[in-house]
Amino acid sequence: MSKQQVKQIRTVKHTRDILPRDFTSDTSAQSHKFQYIESVAREAFRRYGFQEIRTPIFEYTELFARGVGEETDIVSKEMYTWRDLGANNTPGAGDSLTLRPENTAPVIRSYIQHQMWQQSDLAKLFYIGPQFRRERGQKGRFRQFYQIGVEIIGKSDNPAIEAEVIEMLDWILKELKILNTTLSINSVGCPKCRPQFNEMLKKEIEPRLVNMCGDCNHRYETNILRVLDCKRDTEIVAQLPSIQDLLCEECRAHFAEFCRHLDKRKLKYQVDPKLVRGLDYYTRTAFEVLTTSDDLGSQNALLGGGRYDGLSESLGGPPSKGFGFALGLDRFVMSLPEEVSDPSIPKVFLAHLGKEAFEFSLILAGCLRKVGVSCAMDFEMRSLKNTMKLADRSKARYTIIIGEEELTKGRFVLRDMVTREQLELTEAELLEKLKAN
């Protein structure tokens, strides 16, 4: 077959490669930025006492059907689901499996499966990983995207837990210098007060249905609270009653206490009575952080979360309180205001000239790496000019020049590529100096 006939295989639509900076000019797809945000988040989790959990990329479909809800867009339209092979490898006869579209249900599944409540009154878990949804791709919206999230599950539903999570998010955002954001909060009530609100909504919406979109008509039947989420019928939604006016006493007290804890920490927020999570086991606090810059186009949600006190029971676990959030890592990368340092840039480039120098450099590189210094070198024999071009391109702070003369003298030129300063040092002095700074 001639070369031209071989078809190239590319990434699946609305998925993408996250690449080293050297190989992409798309600043939203550079791996060192993902690493940077992950490292800031990990530092926050260390300070706030969260432990990492890694659940499988795929689960039984039923977990999401029950844990996220059949009526949600995610479960009804967006999941990658297939039938596993059955007994004797019969195609399509096995279990229904799904690539995880989110990570809360898997974490709660794991909490129940490993009886975590036996070991601790409050499990504070975090995860970092890819999620999969068959969404219409657009700026800031992908079919494989990355989330960082936390779940706090156990005996306590103290609103101070929620405020502490918001404080941690505030620290992460400030550390990343993502400053143009707003925090919206709301309470979605509980199984005691929400049915009354739903009834009231139904009555208010019914006469307006003819003027509302198809999605709202569908939600009216299946999940009325989600009508408040509609981005199309905003004028009608603005006239609907506010759940804040119908909260029961306990929910009202919980929300007031949450706000008090935020105020005490001087954390800014706005109450948005239209902010909802549309499932029965979501209770009380819901929140969202939006960016006010236009880096993300219409996808302005950076993260969202809330309380889900009924979820464990609905998945067959013990009654447990739960609270968590998920942030969109891809969207965080797009919102980073400035270049971040790339840890893959080597500290030193070894510029060798001639075969003997090459052999020496191979060993010297090993010695440097053993004392913790990152270094790069080339495996071809080149002229000094071309080698120095490579040194420049590597962005290394220092270059060590190793030629025949240097080998005979046992002294090498260390060039600072920023200040252009040059020093002549022995091998031992080189190691000492590079190790130290």
State the nearest-atom distance from the C-beta of 308 to ligand AMP, in Å: 12
CA 210 to chain centre: 39
Q: If binding is defined by CB under 6 A, does position 111 make contact with ligand AMP?
A: no
Q: Does 133 bind ligand AMP (CB under 6 A)?
A: yes
Is 226 a residue that touches ligand AMP (CB under 6 A)? no
Taking CB under 6 A as the rule, does residue 304 contact ligand AMP? yes
Candidates 331, 365, 387, 406; binder of ligand AMP (CB under 6 A) is: 331
The two tokens of residue 413 are: 């030129």
Cα atoms found within 13 Å of the Cα of residue 22, Cβ hemisphere only? 8
- What residue type is assigned to position 126 of the chain? F
CA distances in angstroms from 151 to 323, 343, 389, listed in the order given: 6, 30, 49
Residue 107, judged by CB atoms within 10 A of its CB (0-12, 13-18, 19+), counts as buried
> Of residues 278, 330, 351, 398, which one binds ligand AMP by CB under 6 A?
330
Distance of CA 301 to the CA centre of its chain: 12
Q: What are phi and psi of 326, to 5 degrees?
A: -135, 135
Nearer to ligand AMP, 73 or 378 (CB): 73
From 63-71, 137-145, 198-206, 211-219, give the range in contact with ligand AMP by CB under 6 A.
137-145
Q: With CB under 6 A as the contact rule, which of the stretches 116-124, 134-142, 151-159, 386-394 interacts with ligand AMP?
A: 134-142
Burial zone of 152 (CB within 10 Å; 0-12 exposed, 13-18 middle, 19+ buried): buried
Shortest distance in whole angstroms from residue 153 CB to ligand AMP? 17
Smaller CB separation from ligand AMP, 213 or 301: 301
When asked if residue 71 is in the footprint of ligand AMP (CB under 6 A), the reply is: no
- Per CB under 6 A, the list member of 246, 303, 333, 334 interacting with ligand AMP is 303
Q: Which of 28, 72, 147, 187 binds ligand AMP (CB under 6 A)?
A: 147
Q: Return the amino acid letter for 173.
A: L
What contacts 24+ positions apart, CB below 8 Å, involve 29-34? 29/333, 30/333, 32/340, 32/341, 32/342, 32/343, 32/344, 33/333, 33/336, 33/340, 34/146, 34/329, 34/333
3-class DSSP state of 208:
helix
User: Of 301 and 431, which has the nearer Cβ to ligand AMP?
Assistant: 301
Distance CA(67)–CA(271), nearest Å, equals: 27
| Nearer Cβ to ligand AMP (117/281) | 281
The minimum distance between CB 147 and ligand AMP, in angstroms, equals 5
CB of 327 to ligand AMP, least distance (A): 6
Nearer CB in complex with ligand AMP: 327/373: 327
Closest to ligand AMP by CB, 159 or 328: 328
Query: Strand 51-52's sheet: what is its strand order?
Result: 51-52, 122-132, 144-154, 321-328, 301-307, 283-291, 181-187, 270-271
Task: Answer yes or no whether residue 307 interacts with ligand AMP by CB under 6 A.
Answer: no
Q: Does 275 bind ligand AMP (CB under 6 A)?
A: no
- Told to check if 246 binds ligand AMP by CB under 6 A, we report no
Q: Using CB atoms within 10 Å of the CB of residue 269, give its burial: 0 to 12 exposed, 13 to 18 middle, 19+ buried.
A: middle
User: Judged by CB under 6 A, does residue 164 bind ligand AMP?
Assistant: no
Count of residues that bind ligand AMP according to CB under 6 A: 17
Strands 58-60 and 96-99: antiparallel
Give residue number: closest CB to ligand AMP.
Answer: 328
Is residue 272 a contact residue for ligand AMP (CB under 6 A)? Answer: no
Choosing from 38, 71, 135, 229, the residue that interacts with ligand AMP (CB under 6 A) is 135
Contact call for residues 290 and 307 (beta carbons, < 8 A):
no
**CB-nearer residue toward ligand AMP: 294 or 404:** 294
Q: Does 323 bind ligand AMP (CB under 6 A)?
A: no
If you write DSSP's letter for every residue of 282-335 in order, what string do you get?
A: -EEEEEEEEE-SSTTTT--EEEEEEE-TTHHHHTT----EEEEEEEEHHHHHHH
184 binds ligand AMP (CB under 6 A): no
| Residue ranges in contact with ligand AMP by CB under 6 A | 102, 133, 135, 140-142, 145, 147, 301-304, 326-328, 330-331
